[in-house]
Amino acid sequence: MTTKKSKTSIKETYAPVKKILISQPAPSKGNPYIELQEKYDIKIDFHPFVHVEGLSASEYREQRVYVDEYTAFIFLSRTAIENFFRLLKELRLKVDPEWKYFCSSEAVSTYLKKFIKYRKRKVFAGERTIRDIEKYILRHKDEAFFFPKSTITSDFVGNYFKELDIPLQESIMYRSVASDLSDLENVFYDILVFYSPLGIDSLYENFPDFKQKETRIAVFGDKTKEVAEGKGLNINISVPNPKFRSMTMAIDDYISKTL
Digit-coded pLDDT (tens) for 140-191: 999 999 999 999 888 999 999 999 999 999 999 999 999 999 999 999 999 9
* Average confidence (pLDDT) over 58-75: 97
pLDDT at site 223: 94
Cα–Cα dist 222/155, whole Å: 17
User: How high is the mean pLDDT of the chain?
Assistant: 92
Q: Nearest 5°: phi and psi at 177?
A: -135, 160
Q: Does the structure show a pLDDT above 90 at 3?
A: no
* Average confidence (pLDDT) over 56-80: 96
242: which strand partners?
A: none
Contact 96, 169 (CB under 8 A): no
Q: Does the structure show a pLDDT above 90 at 5?
A: no
* Residue 258 pLDDT class (50, 70, 90 cuts): confident
pLDDT at site 196: 93
Q: Does the structure show a pLDDT above 80 at 7?
A: no
pLDDT at site 121: 86
pLDDT at site 29: 76
pLDDT at site 14: 64
Ordered by start, the domain boundaries in the chain are 17-49+184-256, 52-177
Q: What is the CATH number of domain 17-49+184-256?
A: 3.40.50.10090
What strands lie across the sheet with 100-103, from one edge to the other?
A: 50-54, 168-178, 145-150, 72-75, 100-103, 123-125
* Average confidence (pLDDT) over 113-131: 91
Q: Does the structure show a pLDDT above 60 at 202?
A: yes
Q: Nearest 5°: phi and psi at 189?
A: -125, 145
pLDDT in tens, 104-113: 999 999 999 9
pLDDT at site 53: 95
* Residue 60 pLDDT class (50, 70, 90 cuts): very high
* Average confidence (pLDDT) over 29-34: 87
Task: Report which of residues 216 and 128 the model is more confident about.
Answer: 216
pLDDT at site 185: 92
Report the topology of domain 52-177: Rossmann fold (3.40.50)
* Average confidence (pLDDT) over 195-208: 96
pLDDT at site 90: 97
Q: How many CA atoms lie within 13 A of 23 on its CB side?
A: 26
pLDDT at site 139: 96
Cα–Cα dist 234/231, whole Å: 9
* Average confidence (pLDDT) over 245-254: 96
pLDDT at site 13: 62
* pTM, two decimal places: 0.77
Contact 155, 76 (CB under 8 A): no
